[in-house]
Amino acid sequence: MGKYLSVDLKDQVAVVTGATRGIGRAIAEGLAVNGAKVACIGTNAEKLQQTVEEIGATGVEVTAHLCNVALSENVVKTAEEIIARYKTVGILVNNAGITRDKLLRGLTDSDWDDVIAVNLRGTFLMTRAFCETMRRAKKGRIINISSVSGLQGNRGQSNYCASKAGIIAFTRTVALELANRNITVNAVAPGFIDTDMTVGLSEIVKQVAKDSTPLARFGQPEDIANAVLYLASDWASFITGQVLPVDGGMTV
């Protein structure tokens, strides 16, 4: 287990998309360590079950839900299953995301559509599916995982940057719409984080990334999880519509 911020999430129910690896897994783990019941959503059945079993060892209830967040019918069905089980959901973390990095001249229609579908449409579908139970409860925390790529351009990532910038605009708008129901909506924008997505990068690319980060290193998944834990806690009850960069100073 990683080192996580200590907050009181006992009796809370949290949903985390893209929970099978990297940042999503760390977020699910951090929530469980702090007492929340966690519904983990992913598309790889084997990894999802492994994640649930290992996090469940904390003694907190953790459940697995296979779902493609880009498909409306999948999302509606999964949301119904989770709400039927837990009655309400107080925390939603939209973390699921993919990349299809190419320069614009080589970017295909499917490269664009797939990234927008999972990253941006998925965030919309999940938020729409769970916000009503929060509205009825008159409380809730929605935390969307954007990226520094949504705050600044990055060569070869026009599709990814567009999706992450869209998440920021979506976050700010939904925060305004749900504020009167005591539901906060915020985004976390990670910089370069040490996950399996960065492991495959060449040493040259890694060095360039570190050189562009004032702290001169990659962050850890727990760094993002701790930002999420803070925003999910009562300590952040007066924060909404904001974007929190966790990037080692990249966007200073």
* Annotated domain spans of the chain: 13-242
- Burial of residue 16 (number of CB atoms within 10 Å: 0-12, 13-18, 19+): buried
Could you tell me the pLDDT band of residue 117, with boundaries at 50, 70 and 90? very high
- Any catalytic annotation for residue 86? no
Q: Is the predicted pLDDT of residue 82 greater than 70, yes or no?
A: yes
Amino acid 157: pLDDT: 93
CA distances from 25 to 8, 20, 113 (A): 19, 5, 25
Full strand arrangement of the beta sheet holding 91-94: 62-66, 37-42, 13-17, 91-94, 140-145, 183-190, 243-246
Backbone angles phi, psi at 143, to 5 degrees: -125, 115
Q: Is the predicted pLDDT of residue 153 greater than 90, yes or no?
A: no
Reading the block at residue 115, the tokens are 């990234």
Catalytic: which of 4, 86, 160, 230?
160
Q: Taking Cα atoms as reference points, which of 68, 56, 64, 86 lies closest to residue 20?
A: 64
To the nearest whole percent, how much of the chain has pLDDT over 90?
89
Amino acid 200: pLDDT: 66
Q: What does the pLDDT look like over 31-46, one tens digit per residue?
A: 999 999 999 999 999 9
What average pLDDT score do residues 97-110 get? 94
The CATH architecture one would assign to domain 13-242 is 3-Layer(aba) Sandwich (3.40)
Rounded to whole angstroms, the Cα distance separating 221 from 94 reads 15
Q: Is the predicted pLDDT of residue 211 greater than 90, yes or no?
A: no
Q: Taking Cα atoms as reference points, which of 64, 89, 167 lies closest to residue 123?
A: 167
By residue count, the chain amounts to 252
Amino acid 56: pLDDT: 94
Please provide the average confidence, as pLDDT, over all residues in the chain.
95
What average pLDDT score do residues 73-87 get? 97
Q: What does the pLDDT look like over 2-42, one tens digit per residue?
A: 799 999 999 999 999 999 999 999 999 999 999 999 999 99
Q: Is the predicted pLDDT of residue 208 greater than 90, yes or no?
A: no
